[in-house]
């Protein structure tokens, strides 16, 4: 509790210092955003309660080249900017509690937010179609004069959607419509992240003035969530045809339990138990694979799946470093200890964009994988407030 109170006090102190600087409101809005995202309103003593716009939130349908998608539109009483906010691989889509909370808090500081549903990411697939939908929903929002200032919008992507948002912002249709793009825990190279998830091999950070591509590698144990998603997509290549769907059903149960771990521990335990029961009902070799999933055997699964990656089709629509860069400013935020998408991916993304557009990058111990952890010192909180203040000025 002392750490949380200290963090909240630090945020308020930073805000007070900002009162003598230009762009005062960007700092107070950024501080209010961080306080509310971290659940520190009580600890902050209501010092930033005045930075809260009234909000309406309504579901809508947005047309795209792949058909209409469900979306939720968050509209503050006073609109300063409009953004498209997209989550990563998640079965709950726009109803995922953390996405819902972030959209609500952004709207609270004057940002109109559109959260479109991305069907493929909901089904644990990262596809070029998702990049198309991000592009199309951003164009739709930019065409709403009541919401989009000057016909431009920001793009905010979390996890894999961060990299995809950078790709979308660099496409010709959005080059003059994107005010900025914000990659939160995103990637530079999609194939490289898949290889990390299966092998634990991540590139060395780029050296100033060094090569434009990685030349060295290091090892870090990846989170089991990623390699399980790779298995889900490759199940038809590792088990007989009649075992594919039963194995996928068991994997989806495990992944659903992983989501519940963040919001409902009792339900998570029940669902993990169900995943174990489903594993024992499977024939071989599906049973062995599912046992590895339940045991979180990243190394065992990775050895099987790594050779499959070389057979996967490659698409520039999935990797910013294979696509035209945006002309708008790019903001990059990543948790230093992220073991789903390594933080070094953001460093390589910044290296690719350097000299092509304005880039601001922050690696922070305050962030895990696209989540806020306030149990760090005030200087990290200060840097985070400063980062968001610059973003809110765009």
Do 135 and 164 reside in the same domain of the chain? Answer: yes
CA distance 67 to 120: 13
Do 140 and 244 reside in the same domain of the chain? Answer: no
pLDDT tens column, 150-183: 999 999 999 999 999 999 999 999 999 999 999 9
CA distances in angstroms from 99 to 114, 116, 139, 371, listed in the order given: 11, 11, 21, 10
Does any domain span residue 205?
no
Does any domain span residue 212?
no
Do 352 and 380 reside in the same domain of the chain? Answer: no
Do 67 and 171 reside in the same domain of the chain? Answer: yes
**309, pLDDT greater than 70:** yes
CA distance 368 to 390: 21
Residue 1's pLDDT band (cuts 50, 70, 90): very low
At 217, which helix (H) or strand (E)? strand 217-219
Do 33 and 171 reside in the same domain of the chain? Answer: no
Decide: residue 172, CB within 10 A, 0-12 exposed, 13-18 middle, 19+ buried.
exposed
**360, pLDDT greater than 60:** yes
Please indicate whether residue 218 or residue 31 has the higher confidence score (pLDDT). Answer: 218
CA distance 247 to 384: 42
pLDDT (average), residues 267-295: 98
**87, pLDDT greater than 70:** yes
Give me the domain span that covers residue 162: 55-194+319-357
DSSP string over 290-330: HHHHHTT-HHHHHHHHHHHHTTS---GGG-GGGSPPPSS-E
pLDDT tens column, 12-30: 555 445 444 446 789 889 8
**4, pLDDT greater than 60:** no
């Amino acid at each position: 509790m002392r750490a949380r109170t200290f963090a909240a006090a630090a945020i308020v102190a930073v805000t007070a210092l900002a009162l003598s600087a230009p762009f005062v409101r960007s700092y107070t809005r950024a501080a209010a955003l961080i306080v509310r995202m971290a659940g520190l309103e009580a600890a902050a003593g209501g010092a930033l309660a005045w930075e809260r716009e009234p909000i309406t939130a309504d579901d809508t349908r947005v047309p795209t080249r792949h058909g209409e998608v469900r979306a939720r539109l968050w509209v503050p009483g006073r609109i300063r900017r409009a953004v498209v906010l997209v989550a990563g691989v998640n079965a709950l889509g726009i109803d995922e509690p953390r996405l819902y909370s972030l959209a609500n808090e952004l709207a609270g500081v004057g940002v109109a937010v559109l959260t479109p549903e991305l069907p493929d990411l909901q089904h644990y697939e990262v596809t070029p179609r998702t990049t198309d939908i991000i592009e199309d929903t951003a164009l739709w929002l930019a065409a709403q004069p009541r919401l989009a200032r000057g016909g431009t919008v920001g793009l905010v992507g979390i996890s894999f959607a961060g990299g995809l948002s950078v790709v979308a912002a660099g496409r010709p249709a959005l080059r003059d419509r994107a005010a900025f793009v914000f990659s939160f825990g995103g990637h530079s190279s999609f194939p490289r992240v898949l290889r990390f998830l299966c092998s634990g091999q991540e590139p060395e950070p780029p050296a100033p003035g060094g090569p434009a591509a990685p030349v060295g590698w290091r090892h870090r144990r990846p989170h089991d969530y990623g390699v399980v998603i790779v298995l889900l997509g490759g199940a038809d290549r590792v088990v007989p045809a009649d075992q594919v769907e039963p194995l996928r059903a068991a994997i989806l149960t495990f992944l659903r339990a992983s989501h519940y771990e963040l919001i409902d521990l009792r339900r998570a335990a029940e669902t993990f138990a169900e995943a174990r029961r489903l594993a024992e009902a499977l024939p071989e070799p599906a049973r062995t694979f599912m046992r590895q999933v339940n045991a979180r055997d990243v190394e065992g699964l990775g050895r099987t799946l790594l050779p499959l990656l070389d057979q996967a089709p490659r698409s520039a629509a999935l990797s910013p470093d294979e696509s035209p860069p945006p002309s708008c400013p790019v903001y990059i935020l990543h948790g230093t200890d992220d073991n789903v998408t390594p933080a070094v991916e953001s460093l390589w993304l910044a290296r690719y964009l350097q000299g092509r557009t304005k880039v601001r990058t922050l690696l922070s111990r305050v962030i895990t994988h696209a989540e806020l952890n306030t149990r760090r010192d005030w200087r990290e909180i200060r840097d985070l407030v400063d980062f968001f203040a610059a973003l809110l000025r765009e």
